[in-house]
Amino acid sequence: MIFTYDFVSTYLTLFVAVPLISAGVLVLAARVQWLQYVVMFATLTVSLAASAGLIAGTSDGTTYAKGTGSWPFGIAIPFAADMFSALMLTTTGILALACAWFAVASGYARQRYFAPLVLVLMTGVNGAILTADIFNFFVFLEVMLLPSYGLYAYTIHRRGGNIMVGGVRLFITANLLASTMFLTGVALIYGTAGSVNLAQLKGAAAQDPAVAIATSVVMLSMLTKASVVPVHSWLARSYPYTSPAVTALFSGLHTKVAVYILYRIYAVLFDGDERFLWILVALFSLTMLIGVLGAVGEKDARSILTFHMVSQLGYILLGLAIFTEIGLAAGIFYLVHHMLVKASLFMSTGAIEVRYGTGKIGALAGMARREPWMGIAFFAAALSLAGIPPFSGFVAKFSLMLAAYEKGEFYALVVMVVVSLITLLSMLKIWDGMFWGRAEKAEVASADDGRARVGFWLGAPAVILAALTLAIGLGAQVLMGWSEVAAQNLLDTSGYVNAVMNG
């Protein structure tokens, strides 16, 4: 079969339909555990393979687009895939597969409806990445949120405690606030511009102040969802209190889809308008700094890593604020790198937490000797997060620093250097307190105690993702080449817009 433009475009909707149908099947067969696992992994694997195929199809700058059914343009729900979409689909697919593996190995996936909840979550993720309609951004974000509430609630059922209840309340409240703001912004955009289709809204915010204000409301909601300063504390106080598997999954999906939407909306509606970029540069630089400083006083591995999520999101979004080809490419490269590295960090420390019952620094010691593969995975991912060569983080940070230098954003450049140093110190804090140091108290778990070790199936996802960040760093020209294609599509959105209008 020849995979023509029409063939690929027509079947974009399957990225949404297949996981949703699979989830429905699993709800009906909720008591058949082996079927839950088989269908979940098969669906995620097929979706990942199809996403990788999209990268090959969009590597020349092509955008595939198709409206649902036989409805005319403006009424049909538009789906579109360019290189940026393909990279996001592939990376979220890798992450979902790794986190599902980790959840099964840790025992968390034994919850009756875990598999269908994950598949509904991926339905929302895929839909949000592929839709070319602002209202349907909202719809698919809500599809993402509903199963997320269920996954978080399972944590309370398994672990209990007022802190967990407070965490889920904060998670729900923040996301409901973001959703309300987003829907309000969509209504304002429709009222001022007369459309919610991205193709019809090209440049509208740059030309009409009323549309610019309406679009800013939408962007503010996504900044909240992405946990940008000053609306970042909800993430730092909710993510550490779910299970390690769910923390890793959420870290690569919720905030990163919000980042994707911010990139897409600013590129299309503001058409790269530089009048507002200085505000974004200042905001994202502040996010980098406050996020990393928040991690300094934390004593739990997941709490430290969660604050670093806030900080690293500042780096990713700075690529958007610079809005040059090298800046956008560096931001997209950083986005892919961070999703994989952060998941590896959460799963390497999470595997220790699952097996030994705690992730508190000082309550564990010498894990690198007892759990050498977890030590290697954490060490590699931590060096990558700090931007040490030859890992992917070095390429991401160096490219972003180069973009800031060329644009004349010297204050942002200084902040990036300072934050990188503090990040390295934070990673060394976890390394020394959990993996390298020796136990000084009798109650501290050490490399010499008799508890069961992290098994192959539990530790493998973290090791694989850590190896992947090394591979990306050594072969950075491949991902950077794809990122440059994605950046060119964001700088010149005419190809994307024409594909959506003619789809």
pLDDT at 154 over 70: yes
Give the residue-averaged pLDDT of 404-411.
94
The whole-number pLDDT of residue 379 equals 93
pLDDT at 170 over 50: yes
Query: How do residues 42-68 score in pLDDT, each as one tens digit?
Result: 999 999 999 999 999 999 999 999 887
**Mean pLDDT score of the chain:** 89
Residue 217: both structure tokens together: 């409301």
Residue 387: both structure tokens together: 């931007």
Buried b (16+ CB within 10 A) or exposed e, 350-386: bbbbbbbeebbbebbbbbbebbebbbbbbbbbbbbbb
The whole-number pLDDT of residue 190 equals 95
Confidence of residue 1 (pLDDT cuts 50, 70, 90): very low
pLDDT at 9 over 80: no
Query: How do residues 93-131 score in pLDDT, each as one tens digit?
Result: 999 999 999 999 988 888 888 999 999 999 999 999 999
Query: How do residues 219-257 score in pLDDT, each as one tens digit?
Result: 999 999 999 988 888 888 888 888 888 889 998 899 999
Query: Which pTM value belongs to this model?
Result: 0.94
> For 68, left (φ over 0), alpha (ψ -120 to 50), or beta?
beta
Task: Return the sign of the alpha-carbon dihedral for residues 295, 426, 339, 283.
Answer: positive
Confidence of residue 442 (pLDDT cuts 50, 70, 90): very low
pLDDT at 161 over 90: no
pLDDT at 439 over 60: no
The whole-number pLDDT of residue 438 equals 66
pLDDT at 405 over 70: yes
The whole-number pLDDT of residue 357 equals 77
* Amino acid occupying residue 399: S
